[in-house]
Amino acid sequence: MLRTTKASQVRILLLVIVSSINELVALTPGEVTVRFTNTVNGQDVETVAPVGTNLLNLGDEAGVRLPRACRNGLCNSCICDVVDQATGTRTTIKACSTKIMPHSDGSPIIVDVYRMQKKQDQVLAKSMSRFDDGWETSFVPDYKRGQTSSTSGETYTQQGVPPWEQYSGARATQTKAISEQDSNFDPSNPIFDDPLAAPWDRIW
């Protein structure tokens, strides 16, 4: 009877050890499970991401597009809550400036995004929402719209060229054209007005 008891204890101990090992193996090093709750469609979305991943970007990849209007933490549009499963406490964070870090016990990170249900429409309708991913290459000032590139022959609205590169190329082309028409043209002289310059850069 004593032998059976000892054997049972040993067996239980082995099961506990094996179970713990399996749990450790199941967790891929450097990855964290994140669960978004209270999304717009009412379904929870669970995904896995490397430690240090930006929460706002992770939401986009998982199909949970959190409201945003600046992406630098000023507008507070992407505010959400991280919920502690053990205590139920909530920590309010800004998704755009939050990097994913694992819990000490390896449990999933619960992100409650209930605010997006009422913010989704009104935030995306704001004018600042145009400054989204890739706006640096898509934005073209009004005074340069319709200008033709000297390199590709396309208008700037058709190109994926940053504004500062667009302006320098257009300015060089226009300066050359003016100098060919007017022998007295001196681009180094501030008296000559640059037709492609912004109004605040011109000398009146």
Which CATH number is 91's domain given? 3.10.20.30
Least confident of 32-36, 94-98, 138-142, 191-195: 191-195
Q: How confident is the model at residue 36 (pLDDT cuts 50, 70, 90)?
A: very high
Q: What pTM, to 2 d.p., does this model score? A: 0.49
- The position carrying tokens 């706006």 is 135
pLDDT given at position 151 = 54
Q: Which domain holds residue 108?
A: 31-133
Q: How far apart are the C-alpha atoms of 140 and 163, rounded to whole Å?
A: 6
Residue 155 falls inside a structural domain: yes
Asked if residues 156 and 178 have their Cβ atoms less than 8 Å apart, the reply is no
Q: Are 101 and 176 in a shared domain?
A: no
Q: Are 160 and 109 in a shared domain?
A: no
Stretch 63-90: mean pLDDT: 89
Q: Burial-class residue 55 by CB neighbours within 10 Å (0-12, 13-18, 19+).
A: buried
Evaluate if residue 130 carries a pLDDT over 80. no
Q: How confident is the model at residue 68 (pLDDT cuts 50, 70, 90)?
A: confident
pLDDT given at position 20 = 43
- Give, as one character, the DSSP assignment of residue 155: B
- Rounded percentage of the chain residues whose pLDDT exceeds 90: 28
Contact partners, residue 39, CB within 8 Å, separation at least 6: 45, 64, 113, 116, 117
Stretch 83-107: mean pLDDT: 90
Stretch 80-106: mean pLDDT: 90
Q: Is 34 helix (H, G, I), strand (E, B) or coil?
A: strand
Out of 114, 133, 152, pick the residue that ends a domain. Answer: 133
Stretch 22-38: mean pLDDT: 72
